[in-house]
Structure 1
Amino acid sequence: MPNRINYQQEMEKVLRRLEAEGTRPRLLLHACCAPCSSATLERLADHFDLTILYYNPNIYPPEEYHRREKELERFVQQAGYRFPVVELPYEPQEFYSAVKGLEQEPEKGERCTVCYRLRLEQAARYAAQHGFDWFCTTLSISPMKDPVRINALGAELGAQYGVRFLPSEFRKKDGYKRSLQLSAEYGLYRQDYCGCVFSKQERGV
């Protein structure tokens, strides 16, 4: 079995190249919540002209969806970032239609892969439509997410839509630990389930 790609190292190669070129390209960052965005933004802010995309039709219930979005906006403002946050319409039926037949899948199973694809494809589409050079997602900072699937989907969709996907595994180099520190520093709301009704039920919350 071949060694797995080190996506953290791949990202660092890109960042070093950008520094050497003296360029600051536009990157669309799909964000799932404030805690996951905190350390991710810290890592990328010096290298890219960022726009943050909040597109998460999987999140249930609506009150939770809006709470996470408002907390993301609060963090971006209080941390002193001047990056815009774009919220796309909340249409949970897009998620339920995509995962139909996978309702009984465990967390980290095929349903999650479909959910990754749904959100990453919207990010790739938006990035292509609005002239971004790169796109990426905060999802890989979580220990509960599969970085191999995320990066494979990102690369596939980037090729499909003509926008480069930034290889990344933001939990590496204590990225997840840093997100915990920043969450405490800014008093961020940290949810206790991924987001969808199925993960909520599985966690019993």
Structure 2
Amino acid sequence: MNPTTERDQLSLPKGHTKLLLHSCCAPCSGEVMEALSHSGIDYTIFFYNPNIHPEKEYLIRKEENIRFAEKHNIAFVDADYDTDNWFERAKGMEWEPERGVRCTMCFDMRFERTALYAYEHGFSLISSSLGISRWKNMQQINDCGQRAAAPYDGMHYWDYNWRKKGGSARMIEISKREQFYQQEYCGCIYSLRDTNLHRKASERDLIKIGVKYYGDDEK
């Protein structure tokens, strides 16, 4: 990890000794992972994101996350890509806006699976890198995380604000340093559609999957 980066020394809440961290992608999780490692926290990455579409985009995001986890010897759990389940749950929500009920469903689905894995494998604390993104509603994410943990006795969702004290800025710095893949939409097919509709209306180029990486514009 970068020894020159100044960070607070973190400790897990409520006496927990290890963490299962749901990761959505390498750019969002990079700062979270470095902050946890800097504090000597025992954690495992859980990658479960059946919302990401198409599969090419999903595989790129997953492989970038695996690359960073392996670089720092962090355990990585690769969960199923059960897209049929996600699309079934999204029925009727196809035209809902970002941060609306479709996103709540999506967070619920991913966190429910995270909590189940945690319960089955001896974790009593879960969290997610999703909240570090300024494009997300942190309260919405925290509510979903807490709801997912609630059915399991002794399990908690850690709602730490990863954006604070320079976290969001370090997220970009790490992404440029590691030359992470720079996704240009949230992840689901409807986000891709809406982003491209906005780009078309603004006379901008449509999204090209798999071509843009952090730092490319500076070369």
Aligned runs of 1:176-187 on 2, under 5 Å? 176-187=168-179
Match among 65, 79, 84 for residue 72 of structure 1? 65
**Identical-pair percentage:** 37
Aligned-partner SS, 1:135: strand
Matched, 1:110 2:106: no
Matched, 1:37 2:33: no
Q: CA RMSD in A?
A: 2.0
Matched, 1:143 2:139: no
Which 5+ residue runs of structure 2 have no aligned equivalent? 1-7, 197-206, 208-219
Matched, 1:188 2:188: no
> Which residue of structure 2 lines up, in the alignment, with residue 85 of structure 1?
76
Number of corresponding residues: 188
Which of the two has greater helix per residue?
1
Alignment TM-score, normalising by the size of structure 1? 0.86
Work out whether residues 24 and 47 of structure 1, in 8 Å CA contact, stay in contact via their aligned partners in 2.
no
> Which residue of structure 2 lines up, in the alignment, with residue 52 of structure 1?
45
Cα drift, residue 158 of structure 1: 1.3
Matched, 1:159 2:150: yes
* Deviation >4 Å, runs of 4+: none
Aligned-partner SS, 1:155: helix
Work out whether residues 57 and 91 of structure 1, in 8 Å CA contact, stay in contact via their aligned partners in 2.
yes
Tell me, in whole angstroms, the C-alpha distance in 2 between the residues paired with 1:48 and 1:27. Answer: 8
Work out whether residues 24 and 48 of structure 1, in 8 Å CA contact, stay in contact via their aligned partners in 2.
no
Which 5+ residue runs of structure 1 have no aligned equivalent? 1-11
CA displacement, residues 2-54 of structure 1 (integer Å, 9 cap, x when unaligned): xxxxxxxxxx8982768xxxx77121000000000100112222242111001
Matched, 1:119 2:115: no
Matched, 1:169 2:161: yes
Matched, 1:99 2:95: no
Tell me, in whole angstroms, the C-alpha distance in 1 between the residues paired with 2:12 and 2:120. Answer: 27
